[in-house]
Amino acid sequence: MPLLMERQIEKKLDIWKHKKRRKPLLLRGARQVGKTYIVRQFGRKFKRYTEINFELTKDAEHIFEADLKPDRIIRDLALLTKNKIVPGETLLFLDEIQEAPEAIKALRYFYENMPELHVIAAGSLLEFQIEQIGIPVGRVSAMYLYPLSFREFLVAGQNDEYLTTINNVFKEGSVNQAIHNRLMMLMGEYIAVGGMPEAVDCWIDTKDFQECSEIHKVLIETFRQDFHKYSKNYQIKYIDRLFNEIPHLLGRKFKFSAISGESRKRELNPALELLQKAGIVHKIFHTSGQGLPLGAGINFNRFKMIFLDIALSQTILNMDTTLWILSPMEQIVNKGSVAESFVGQELIARSEIDIKSQLFYWHREARSSNAEVDYLIVRNDRIIPVEIKSGREGTLKSIHYFLKNHPQSPYGMRFYAGMPNISGKIRSYPLYCAAGI
């Protein structure tokens, strides 16, 4: 990747590096979100750096099979790589560690017997191996990486001055019309290009969207090729069906009956869990929103879905995403589910790095009337309802109903195509301001 990308996770890595009671780190996330790139960049901050890729270097796995003693392991790894491994000076990176189960087990012994050595492990389908062998509680830490957020996209494109503008919108409640138009254009670029690092790098370097589109197609095919790695043969057709059809269902309550074909929940539900574990889709669970934590009022049978990356989901649907670059305002008005997905992707990317992100929504179903709030978030220990409106206008009956029946929520937020505005208990902001919540 020729361009240097700054990621939110880098600050957390710096903190981890200098911790006195540091633990080996598992970097978790879907394929192609930039895990290897981040660690290599981070490795420049060390005097020495050693990388082992268990897919490329099959002999490395055998080093961990003899025993799990850290002193012998680093001795043999140093011989294999011809790199001296010095605790306190070296960053040891174990990539594609899911290919070496014994190496995962060895992480606890690095913590117990050689805590001064900096060890990071990562893998494309790591979650499946962890499910099989587990990870030692209290002996290994974790961080989660997702596609680039809109904030990170702005920084990568050297538009980071707009981050201050976004922050000021929340403080001042206003923005210059010309700056607003520019930010809407940049947001349109992001929705078209997405947050997968390779596509972002291509766009910033070439501004050739056709080349970006080809990258999207290759990434989608890569995800499809992975299906056989974590599923049984009879499950592949169900995973493929969900993979193709979930982008059609974004923003709607998920029903297995909406998936075409003769398959039933019994076959589709396990396949959906596999896609979720691979990081390709995220569930947005319904919650009552009556108290904290939000997960306390969760209903596991009612959920919506969001795809890993907003551009990939549109590519699966064969949508002409160049229109987001040419006329973002018109697209926002016509594609409300995409706007909702954009905000969801921002919420995930901006979540706490050391715990897996979880999104929530609220829905009231009644014979007389239905009400739905797209997301519930927590700010200053208060539950804040968030609505996404595709156009400049739109009724806010659901959010008003929620606030009336949840008096502990001080206000609600709307993200839409219009300018900032505060009216009563509703705070309205342009969609790009989702990068600042």
Chain segment 348-407, per-residue pLDDT in tens: 998 888 888 899 999 987 766 789 999 999 999 999 999 998 666 667 899 999 999 999
Q: Would 1 be classed as within a structural domain?
A: no
Are residues 297 and 201 part of one domain?
yes
CB burial class (10 A; 0-12, 13-18, 19+) of residue 133? exposed
Q: What is the number of structural domains in the chain?
A: 2
Residue 11 pLDDT: 94
Of 410, 401, 414, nearest to 379 by C-alpha is: 410
Choosing from 144, 176, 193, the residue where a domain stops is: 144
Are residues 110 and 46 part of one domain?
yes
Distance of alpha carbon 188 from the chain centroid: 19
Q: Would 304 be classed as within a structural domain?
A: yes
Are residues 173 and 27 part of one domain?
no
Q: What are the structure tokens assigned to 315, written together?
A: 């590519």
Choosing from 144, 161, 195, the residue where a domain stops is: 144
Residue 334 pLDDT: 66
Q: Would 245 be classed as within a structural domain?
A: yes
Q: Would 397 be classed as within a structural domain?
A: yes
176: number of Cβ within 10 Å: 10
Residue 356 pLDDT: 85
Choosing from 123, 144, 165, the residue where a domain stops is: 144
Are residues 277 and 131 part of one domain?
no
Q: Would 135 be classed as within a structural domain?
A: yes
Backbone angles phi, psi at 368, to 5 degrees: -75, -40
Are residues 137 and 156 part of one domain?
no
Which CATH number covers residue 68? 3.40.50.300
Residue 2 pLDDT: 45
Taking 50 as the pLDDT cut, the residues of the chain under it are 1-2
Q: Report the SS3 class of residue 341.
A: helix
Q: Is the dihedral of CA 195, 199, 203, 205 positive or negative?
A: positive
Q: Would 420 be classed as within a structural domain?
A: yes
Residue 170 contacts residue 379 (beta carbons within 8 Å) = no
CA distances to 162, 176, 383, 410 from 413, in Å? 21, 20, 11, 10
Are residues 187 and 61 part of one domain?
no
The amino acid sitting at 312 is: L
Residue 378 pLDDT: 95
Are residues 31 and 13 part of one domain?
yes
Are residues 115 and 233 part of one domain?
no
Q: Would 297 be classed as within a structural domain?
A: yes
Of 154, 376, 421, 199, nearest to 285 by C-alpha is: 376
Q: Would 230 be classed as within a structural domain?
A: yes
From CA 384, how far away is CA 33, in angstroms rounded? 29
Question: pTM above the 0.85 mark?
Answer: yes
Residues 6+ away with beta carbon under 8 Å from 405: none
CB burial class (10 A; 0-12, 13-18, 19+) of residue 262? exposed
Are residues 210 and 176 part of one domain?
yes
Are residues 242 and 194 part of one domain?
yes
* Cis? peptide before 293, omega within 30° of 0: yes
Are residues 180 and 32 part of one domain?
no
User: Structural domain of residue 62, as residue ranges?
Assistant: 9-144
From CA 56, how far away is CA 37, in angstroms rounded? 16
Are residues 101 and 185 part of one domain?
no
